[in-house]
Structure 1
Amino acid sequence: MDLPQELVDTILDILHDDIPSLKSCSLAARTFVISARKHIFKKIEILSSSDASQRFYELLCSSPHIAPLVEDLCITSVLEKFVLCAYLDPSGDYMSGRALSLILPLLTELIRISLIDTGDVNHQTGLQYSRSWNKMEPPLQSALANVFSSPRLEAVHLCGLVLESPCHLLSLFSEATALREMSLSRLYFTQAEHKPWPESQLWRPKLRFLLLNASSFDFCQYLVNPQIDLTHVRTLRVATPSPEQRRKIVLATSLRHSRGVEHLGTYLAYNFEMHISDLSPDLFTTNLRSIHFFSLLIVELLGVFVKMCPHDSRLEYVTLEGFADFQQVTPVPELHTAIDATVAHLPALKTIEMRCIMGENESSAVFTQWETDVQTAVSSLVRRGVLRLTTIRFGQGSGSLLPIGWE
Structure 2
Amino acid sequence: MISELPQEVYDLVIDHLWDDKVSLAACSLTCRAWLPSSRTHIFRDIHLKSPSACFRFKNLLETSTIAPLVRKMAVQAYHFLHKHPALRDEDTMWESRIPTLLSLLPGLIELEIACLSWSTLRLTAAKESAFLSRLAHLKHLTLSDVHFETPAQVLSVLLAAPGLETLRFDRVYCNSSLPCVSLESLVCRIPKACTPPPPPSSYAPIFPMSNAGGQALRNLTLRPASPPNFVIDWLLATGEVKLRNLNVHWRDRRNTTALCALLSAAGPYLEHLYMELTNGVAVQVQDEMNFGLLTALRSVCFEGFVLPDCGTCFSAMISQLSSPFLKRVKISLLARWADDLRTLDWKQLDTALSRERFAGVEVTLHVNIAMSRANKGVDARALVELSLPRFQKLGILQVRCT
Q: Do these two structures clear the TM 0.5 threshold for a shared fold by scoring above it?
A: yes
| CA pair 216-59 structure 1, distance change in 2 beyond 3 A | closer
Report the secondary structure of 2:320's partner residue: coil
Distance 1:29 1:372 in 2: 64
Matches of 2:20 and 2:401, distance apart in 1: 27
Partner in structure 1 of residue 264 of structure 2: 251
* Cα deviation 1:302-360 (Å, max 9, x = unaligned): 9643443336323222233475658578567952563254243225753223457899x
- Cα distance in 1, alignment partners of residues 350 and 327 from structure 2: 15
SS in 2 for 1:219: helix
1:213 pairs with 2:199:
no
Q: CA deviation at 1:385?
A: 5.5
Q: Deviation digits for residues 221-243 of structure 1, max 9, x if unmatched?
A: 86177634452222222223132
Q: Provide closer, same or farther for how the CA distance between residues 82 and 211 of structure 1 changes in structure 2, counting only shifts above 3 A.
A: closer
Question: Residue 273 of structure 2 aligns to which amino acid in structure 1?
Answer: L
Distance 1:251 1:69 in 2: 40
Letter in 1 for 2:290: D
From 103, 113, 136, the equivalent of 1:115 is: 113
The answer to whether 1:262 aligns with 2:252 is: no
Q: Distance in 2 between matches of 1:92 and 1:390?
A: 46
Aligned AA (1:69):
L
Pair 1:17 & 2:19 matched:
yes
RMSD: 4.2
Pick from 176, 183, 199 the counterpart of residue 197 of structure 1: 183
Kept in 1: contact 2:47–2:75 (CA 8 A): yes
Note the alpha carbon deviations across 1:79-120, whole angstroms, 9 max, x for none. Answer: 442789xxxxx9977575354344222211101111112xxx
Distance change >3 Å, CA 82–CA 173, structure 1 → 2: closer
Q: Identify the residue that residue 172 of structure 1 maps to in structure 2.
A: 157
Q: Deviations over 1:253-303 (max 9, x none)?
A: 35xxxx33222222213xx36624533552341222222222154999796
Residue 62 of structure 2 is aligned to residue 61 of structure 1: yes
Aligned-residue identity in percent: 23
1:73 deviation in Å?
0.7
Q: Distance in 2 between matches of 1:106 and 1:40?
A: 18
Cα distance change, pair 137–337 in 1 and its aligned pair in 2 (3 A)? closer
- Distance 1:298-1:35 versus aligned 2 partners, 3 A rule: farther
1:245 is displaced (CA, Å) by: 1.9
**In the TM superposition, what whole-angstrom CA distance separates every residue of 1:372-392 from its partner, at most 9, and x where no partner exists?**
665555565555552345699
Find the counterpart in structure 2 of residue 294 from structure 1.
303
Give the 5 Å matches for 1:249-398: 249-254=262-267, 259-269=268-278, 272=279, 275-279=282-286, 281-284=289-292, 285-297=294-306, 304-308=313-317, 309-310=319-320, 312-314=322-324, 315-321=326-332, 327=338, 330=341, 334-335=345-346, 338-347=349-358, 350-354=361-365, 374-375=384-385, 378=388, 384=394, 386-388=396-398
Q: Which residue of 1 aligns with 2:45?
A: 43
Contact 2:350 2:389 in 1 (8 A): no
Where does structure 2 lack aligned partners over 5 or more consecutive residues?
Answer: 185-207
Q: Quick check: 1:43–1:71 contact (8 Å CA) kept in 2?
A: yes
Structure 1 Cα separation of the partners of residues 155 and 367 of structure 2: 36
Q: Distance in 2 between matches of 1:386 and 1:141?
A: 59
Compared with structure 1, are the counterparts of its residues 166 and 273 closer, same or farther at alpha carbon in structure 2 (3 Å cutoff)?
closer
1:152 paired to 2:163: no
State the distance in 2 between where 1:358 and 1:278 align: 25
Distance in 2 between the 1:187 and 1:108 partners?
26
Stretches of structure 1 that go unaligned for 5 or more consecutive residues are 85-89, 118-130, 393-407
Distance in 1, Cα, partners of 2:48 & 2:350: 49
- Equivalenced residue count is 361
* Contact 1:302–1:320 (CA under 8 A) maintained in structure 2: no
SS in 2 for 1:146: helix
- Residues 132 and 163 of structure 1 are in contact (CA less than 8 Å); yes or no, is this contact kept in structure 2? yes
2:363 partner SS = strand
In the superposition, relative to structure 1, how do residues 83 and 34 fare at CA in structure 2: closer, same or farther (>3 Å)? closer
| SS at 1:236 equivalent | strand
Displacement of 1:169 after TM fit? 1.7
Which structure is larger by alpha-carbon Rg, 1 or 2?
2
Scaled by the length of structure 2, the TM-score of the pair is: 0.72
The TM-score, its normalising length taken from structure 1, stands at 0.71
Amino acid at match of 1:59: L
- Divergent runs of 4+, >6 A: 90-93, 298-303, 356-359
Shift of 1:54: 0.7
In the alignment, what sits opposite 1:405? none
